[in-house]
Structure 1
Amino acid sequence: MAASLVFRLHDRGPQLVREVLLERGWKEYDKWEREDRDWNLYWRGSEFHSSEYHSLLPWQRLNHHPKTAGITRKDSLVRNLRRMKATFGSALYNFSPTTFILPNEYTSFLAEYKLLPNREQSVCWICKPVDLSRGRGIFLFRDMKDLVYNCSVVVQRYISNPLLISGYKFDLRIYVCVKSFHPLTVYIHQEALVRFATEKYNLSSLSNVFAHLTNTSINKFGPFYKTQKGQVGSGCKWTMSKFRYFLQNQNINELFLWQRINNIVTLTLLSITGSVPNCPNCVELFGFDILIDSKFRPWLLEVNHNPSLALDCRTDLSVKKGLISDLVDLMDYTAVDGLRGKTYQTQRNVQTSFNANISTPVPSLPKLKDHNFQQKNKKSSKMHHEKTKRYLPPDETLHWILGSKMNVVKTGFSSVKLNSCQMLLHRKRWRFHVQEAKPPIGQHVPPIRAGGFIRTFSFNPATLKASLVKLDVLVVIQELQKLTARVASGRREETTGEEEEEDEDCFDSLLWGPEDPPLLSQWLNTKNKNT
C-alpha cells in the first residue's frame, strides 16, 4: 500500500482493537504528529457528536451510526418494540418479555402484577437500570415491597424456565455488524460467546446473582468461577462452536433455532431503521444478548452498543480477536486507502498543482459537507433537505467518482482541471457540481460474507429491492415469514423455473448459524428435491 492506514482510539482503548490493527500494519494516531483529521478509523465506546458525522471525509470511518440508542438503551428498546408490536402484531414481535418502564408506567405495572395468579410462588420480575451495563444495579423480586429503585428502570417478567446446561443458566452474546442502515445491510458473526452463571440455577434464591446473571463482569468474581462445573467446565464461557456441538444431541431443528435468532436481530433493527440518519461511512458492532428457554425458544434480553472487547480468558481471545479482524475486513478500506495520504501530500504543494492564474490561498482540509448553503426559497426547504441530508454518497458511487476521472472547476479566472483530491481540498473555496453517476449494475449488492461475518440482510432479491430506496418494512416482514416457514418445515414454496433462474443469477445469501452455512439457493433446491 502507498500509505499506512491510521486508527484513532478514544481514551486509549480498547486494547484489542489496537493490537489487531497494529498487527495488520496500521499506525496509531498521534495528535502531536498528525493533522486533526489525518486518520482512517475513529473508534470510541460512547456516541459521537453530530458534527463528527457531518465532517467525515471519504476515507474515514466511525464505529457508531448516529441515533442507535433507540435499541441500545433499555427503555427506548421497550418503546420501539412495543410500537412495532402494535403495528405488525404480537405474533411477530413476541420475542421480548412483558416489560414496564418505571416510574412512568408504575400504575400499569401494578395492575399487571395484581392480575397474575399465584404471583408470590411462581412469577418473578427482574429490575434493570435503563442506562447501565455489565449487570450493575440488577435485581430479582417477587413481592412488590422488594421493588426499590432510585433511577429510571425497566421491570421485566423474568424468564423462569431457561435452558440449562449441567444445571447452569446461560445466554448467547451474538455479534451483529450493521454496515449500513440505508439500505439496511446486516452481518452476524459465526462465532459468539455463550456466557454462563457460575452457580446452579435456583428460583428459591433470587438474591444470588451468581445463579441468575450471566454477566462475566459479575461471575468472574464468583466463588466457583475457576472450579469444574459439569459440562460447563471451569470459567464461565463457551464458544459458539462448542455450543453447536452441544445442540447436536438435543434432537431439535437447529437451523430453525438459528433462523429465529436471525429474525430477532432483523426485526429489532427494523424498529429504528427509519429514524437513523444516513451516514455511509459508519459501521457498528452490536452485542445482542439472547436467552434460550427450555422449549428452545429464543428471547431478546437487550442490545449493547459497545460490547466488551476485554480478554478475560482464552475463549475471549479465540472469539474476539477474529471478530475485530473480520470487522476491519468488512469495512473494505482498500478502495480509498490512497486518498488520505494523497490529500495531505497535495496540501503541502497544492499551489504547484493549479493553474498559475489561481492565487487565492489554499484552505486546510475542509469538511466534505458544505454547511454554508442558505435557503433562498422557503417553499423549497423541504426538498432541499431531502437532497442534502445524505452526508456522503454510497461507497461504490464515491469510489467511482473519486477514481481516475478529471473534473472541471469554474474558478472565475479560468477553467482548471483538478484531480479528485484537489477537488476535496478546494470545495469550500470554489463551487463545483458532481453529478452522481449510477454505479455499475450489481455493485449495490453487498458481499455475502467477510471472514466469519455472514450477510443476513438483505437475504433475497425481494428484501434487497425493498431496502434500496425507502425501506418497505411490510415486504421485508413477509419475506422473513416465508423463509422462516420454509426453514421450520424443510420445504419451500413452488416457483417457476424462470423465477428460480432469475433469483440465482442476481442474488444469493448464506443461512447463518450452522458451522458450515449453506447457500440459501442450494439449501432450498436440496430440500425441494427431497420432498
Structure 2
Amino acid sequence: MDNRNGERDKMTRHYWMGGNRSYEQDRFFEQHLDKSLWQKADGPEQWDACWYTGMPDPEYFSQVGPGRKINHIPGNAALTVKSRLYRSLMELRERVQRQDKGSGHLTDRLAFVPRIFSMPEDYHDFQEAALENPGKRWILKPKNAARGKGIRLVDDPADVPMDSSWMVQEYLENPHTMHGRKYVLRLYVLVSSVSPFRVYLYHQGFAKLASAPYDEDNANNPYSYLTNPDVNALNLDAEIPVEFVDFDRYRVWLREQGHDDEALFARIEDMVALTCLAALEPMRERSRVVGADTRGCYELMGIDCLIDESLKPWILECNLSPSLEVCAGPDSGGDIEEGIKGALVADMVEMLGLNRPVGNEADGSMVERLVRETQAETASSGGFRNLIPGKDPSAYLPFMALPRLSDWVVAQALSDRPLKQPRFERWVAEETFSEDLVYLYDTRLGHLSSLNETASLIWLMATEGAGPDDIAAALVDAALKSTPTAPDAWTIRNDVWNTLADWINNRFLVQSEGETAERAAPESSRASSSEASATISMVLSCGRFRARFFTDSAPLVSRIENLLEPMAVADESGMDSLPRLEVVRDTPGFTLILDGQVIRSRLPLSAVAPALASCLATHAAGHDDIAIDAGLLAGSDQDSPMFMVSHTEPSLRDALTLALAAQWRVEYDRGALLQAADEYRVAGLGLPLQDTAREGLFVPARAGLTGNLGRVPAVLVPTENPLQNKSGVQAMAVNETLRHLISSCCGEDGRPLDTDGFTRLAGWLEGRDRYLVDMNNLEAAAAALSGRCFEKAPQKESGSL
C-alpha cells in the first residue's frame, strides 16, 4: 500500500471499496461521504478511507492511522467467528469468576451465551452432553458461513460431522414469540476505538421474524425455527416470507404486551458491552502483531440476539460486515429498513469524522487529547448510544483484563467520582528471588522467566497492594534522582500499565476486588469442578531430606498416598519452615516442583510416582553420605541383617527384591543411605517399589525398615541370563558389582560421587559378599542365599562380614 503524500492531491481525499462487493453493501457508505472532500480511488494503492466487505489481508493495516481509516480491526475474529465468540466469552467468564471469588456479582452478568461445541476437539464432550440430556435439541452451524447457510437442527447427535468447519450450539428452547412467530433481534454495534476502548450501540435495529408459526414439535420446518431472511425468502407458502420490525414498533408492541422495554434494552446494552470486552485483548494483540495503528481502525458489526420467554436476551452470533442490503419488501418493513440502514451509516461517517479535516493531534497533553477526542466523538454520535466508557465509566473497568492507561485516564476524566486504582493478586505465578531480581514460575506450564530490575520492582509493588499509578510515581521519583534530565512521566506510566496488563493476559496476575492483593493458590493446584476435592499435606522424611509435600489432585492422591506413608513423619511440630515439595496439575499432565523450582513437567499420572521417588532419592544424602537407589531386604527382628539388591536393569527393577521377600517372608524397602558417620551400616529410605508383575503400579516399602540402621552382609545383582551354576547364584568381583551399582549412587544434592565417595563405596563393597542372581532359577537362588548369607550375618559387627 503506497501512501506517499507527495504524489497525491492535498485537497482531495480518496476512498476505496473492496472485498465481497455489491451495490447494496457499498451504496450507503459512498452516498454519505462529502463529495467536495472525497474522490473515488482508482485502486487499492491509494486511499484515505477503505470500506471493505469481509476481512482484508494484514497488509491493509500497515498504513492506517488518524488520517487513514479502514472499517475493520485486526483480531475481530475473536467475535465474528462463531466458535471463537464462545471461547472469548468463556475466557472472560473464567477470569471474572476468579476475580469474583464466588460472589457472582460480576460473573452472573456473563450468563447470556448458549453452550457451543467446536469440532473436532469437542466431539466427545458433545456426545456426553447429548447423552446426559436426551431431550435437549442442538443446532449445527458452519463456523464461517453467513446468511443462514448450512444451519440445521441435529436429528441424531451420533451423525454430527467431526470436520473442523462445524460447530454445535445448544438450542434455546421456549423463545419469546411475536404474533406467534419466533424472532431474533439484529443489533448494530460500532467499536470506534481500541485504545481507549469505545463501544456504541445504534438506537435502531430490527426484530427479524421467522416466516412460519413457532412449533416445538415441528423441528423439520426451518421456516419455524430459523429467522435468517435468506432462508425465509424461500418459503413460498408464507404471505410475508421476510418481515423486519424496527425497534420503535417493537418496543411499542412490548409495552402493549405489558413488558418493560426499558429493562430489556438495559440488559441488551450490558450484554453487548460485555461481548465486545471479550475481544478487547485479542484485538489489541493482533493489531500489535500486524503493526496497525488502531487510531485508523473501527468495526461495525451486526449482533443477533434471541429473547426467551422470560425476556432474557441471549447472544447468538456477531457478524462481520453486516448486510446493508434491504431484505424486506416495502409492505413488510422494507422502506423503514432502508431508512434505518442509511441513517446508521450516515451517523457512523459523521461520528468517525470522515467528513471533517484531520485535526492537529499535538495540541495539549496526552490526557487532554484523549479526553477531547472521546468527548468530541460522543457529542457527534447521532443515533449511536455510547456503552463504553458510557455514563458510568467505572462500570466496565473490572471486566477488562486491565484497563490500559488510555482507558484509565478517560474514565477518570469522565467519571463523576474518584476512581480507585486496580489492585492485583497472583493467579498462576509464583516468584523466587535472586539478589535484586524476581523470577516468575508459571504453575500451569512449568516455565520460569526472569524479570529485569524495573519489572521486578513493578511486580513486588503490585503484589504488595500498590496500584499502577502508585508504581509509576515511584519509578518517576527514582528517575528524577538518578538522571540529570526530567523523565517522560507519561511513557513511564504507560509502560507500567502495559507491563501489568501483559502479566494479567498471561494469568500471572488478576485484578482483585479487594483493597489489597491477596495471596492466591496457583490455578494448577486448585481442584477443577469436574474433579473431586482431595488433598495431601504431610511431612516426608527420606534419609537426611525433610520436606512438606502437597498435592490436591484426587486421582493422584488415590494413587500415591499409601506409597508415601512409610516416609511420613507422625510428629510435625517444629517443621513449618521445611522446603515445599508439590505436584500440581498442569496442561498437560502434572508438574513436580521443589521450593519453586520445576523438577519435572508434563508428567502423565503413571509417571508421577517414579518421578517423585527419584527426586526424594537424589536429595536423601547429606555431606559425605552416599545415597543408593537399590532394594533392601531384612527380617522383622531388629538385629536381622539387610541385603541390598541392585535394580539398575530397567526390565527388572525391583523384581528380585519383591521375589526374595516373598520367598523369605521378610520386610522390603527401596533406597539405602550409607552414612558418613557409620562405615558399615545403612538406613532404609522408604521409597516405593515398582511391581513388575503389574506394569506401572508401585507398592509401598515396609515401614519397619525406613530410617532404621542395619548391617549388609551381601549385595545382590539380578540377571536374566541363565547361569551355569545350578545354585542360581555366582560370586562377583568388586569392580563388576560397582559397574551395576554406581549409576544408582549419588552424594549431597544428587551430585555424582567424587573420588573420595567412589573410593569409600568400593571399600565398603570389598567387605560384602557379592552375588549375581539368576532370575530364571529364583527358588534355588533363594535357598542358596539364605544358607550363605543368613548364617554368616552374625559373625562380625563391623568391617568385612
TM-score, scaled to structure 1: 0.64
Q: Note if contact 1:449-1:455 (Cα within 8 Å) is conserved in structure 2.
A: no
**Does residue 1:331 correspond to 2:262, yes or no?**
no
- Kindly indicate whether structure 1 or structure 2 has the higher relative contact order, using CA contacts under 8 Å at least 6 residues apart: 1
Distance 1:441 1:138, change over 3 A: closer
Deviations 1:277-320 (A, max 9, x none): 36111111011101000110100000111111112232431221
Distance 2:251 2:229 in 1: 21
Determine the structure 2 residue equivalent to 1:180: 193
Counterpart amino acid of residue 105 in structure 1: D
Determine the structure 2 residue equivalent to 1:399: 360
Determine the structure 2 residue equivalent to 1:379: none
**Does residue 1:66 correspond to 2:93, yes or no?**
no
Deviations 1:380-413 (A, max 9, x none): xxxxxxxxxxxxxxxxxx6233x8x9xxxxxxxx
Counterpart amino acid of residue 87 in structure 1: R
Distance 1:327 1:204, change over 3 A: same
Aligned-residue offset at 1:198: 0.3
**Does residue 1:456 correspond to 2:387, yes or no?**
yes
**Does residue 1:241 correspond to 2:248, yes or no?**
yes
Distance 2:367 2:309 in 1: 53
Distance 2:273 2:352 in 1: 20
Q: Note if contact 2:120-2:163 (Cα within 8 Å) is conserved in structure 1.
A: no
Distance 1:182 1:42, change over 3 A: same
Determine the structure 1 residue equivalent to 2:405: 469
**Does residue 1:297 correspond to 2:345, yes or no?**
no
Aligned-residue offset at 1:136: 0.9
**Does residue 1:113 correspond to 2:43, yes or no?**
no
Determine the structure 1 residue equivalent to 2:116: 99
Deviations 1:56-79 (A, max 9, x none): 254211000111101110111121
**Does residue 1:268 correspond to 2:275, yes or no?**
yes
Determine the structure 1 residue equivalent to 2:713: none
In the TM superposition, 1:125-524 aligns within 5 A as 125-148=138-161, 150-225=163-238, 227=239, 235-277=242-284, 279-313=294-328, 314=334, 315-336=336-357, 399-401=360-362, 439=369, 442-445=372-375, 446-448=377-379, 450-460=381-391, 462-463=393-394, 466=397, 467=403, 469=405
Distance 1:443 1:156, change over 3 A: closer
Distance 1:3 1:74, change over 3 A: same
Determine the structure 1 residue equivalent to 2:24: 15
Distance 1:83 1:334, change over 3 A: same
Counterpart amino acid of residue 302 in structure 1: E
Distance 2:360 2:327 in 1: 40
Q: Note if contact 1:48-1:66 (Cα within 8 Å) is conserved in structure 2.
A: no
Counterpart amino acid of residue 237 in structure 1: F
**Does residue 1:77 correspond to 2:38, yes or no?**
no
Q: Note if contact 1:126-1:141 (Cα within 8 Å) is conserved in structure 2.
A: yes
Aligned-residue offset at 1:40: 2.6
Q: Helix, strand or coil: the match of 1:10? A: strand
Q: Note if contact 1:17-1:324 (Cα within 8 Å) is conserved in structure 2.
A: no
Q: Note if contact 1:186-1:457 (Cα within 8 Å) is conserved in structure 2.
A: yes
Q: Helix, strand or coil: the match of 1:276? A: helix
Distance 1:301 1:20 in 2: 27
Q: Of Structure 1 and Structure 2, which has the larger fraction of its residues in strand?
A: 2
TM-score, scaled to structure 2: 0.43
Q: Note if contact 1:195-1:237 (Cα within 8 Å) is conserved in structure 2.
A: yes
Counterpart amino acid of residue 325 in structure 2: A
Aligned-residue offset at 1:30: 3.7
Distance 1:31 1:62 in 2: 17
Equivalent residues, number = 370
Deviations 1:399-434 (A, max 9, x none): 233x8x9xxxxxxxxxxxxxxxxxxxxxxxxxxxxx
Aligned-residue offset at 1:207: 2.2
Counterpart amino acid of residue 169 in structure 2: Q
Distance 2:64 2:17 in 1: 16
Q: Helix, strand or coil: the match of 2:271? A: helix
Distance 2:95 2:190 in 1: 26
Distance 1:264 1:441 in 2: 25
| Residue in structure 2 matching 1:45, options 42, 53, 57 | 53
Counterpart amino acid of residue 127 in structure 2: L
RMSD over equivalenced CA pairs, Å: 2.9
Structure 1, unaligned stretches of length 5 or more? 229-233, 338-397, 406-434, 480-531
Deviations 1:137-162 (A, max 9, x none): 11112532443464432211111100
Distance 1:79 1:437 in 2: 34
Q: Percent identity?
A: 24
Counterpart amino acid of residue 319 in structure 2: N
Aligned-residue offset at 1:104: 0.8
Distance 2:128 2:169 in 1: 14
Counterpart amino acid of residue 239 in structure 1: D
Q: Helix, strand or coil: the match of 1:77? A: helix
Distance 1:108 1:447 in 2: 45
Q: Note if contact 1:219-1:236 (Cα within 8 Å) is conserved in structure 2.
A: no
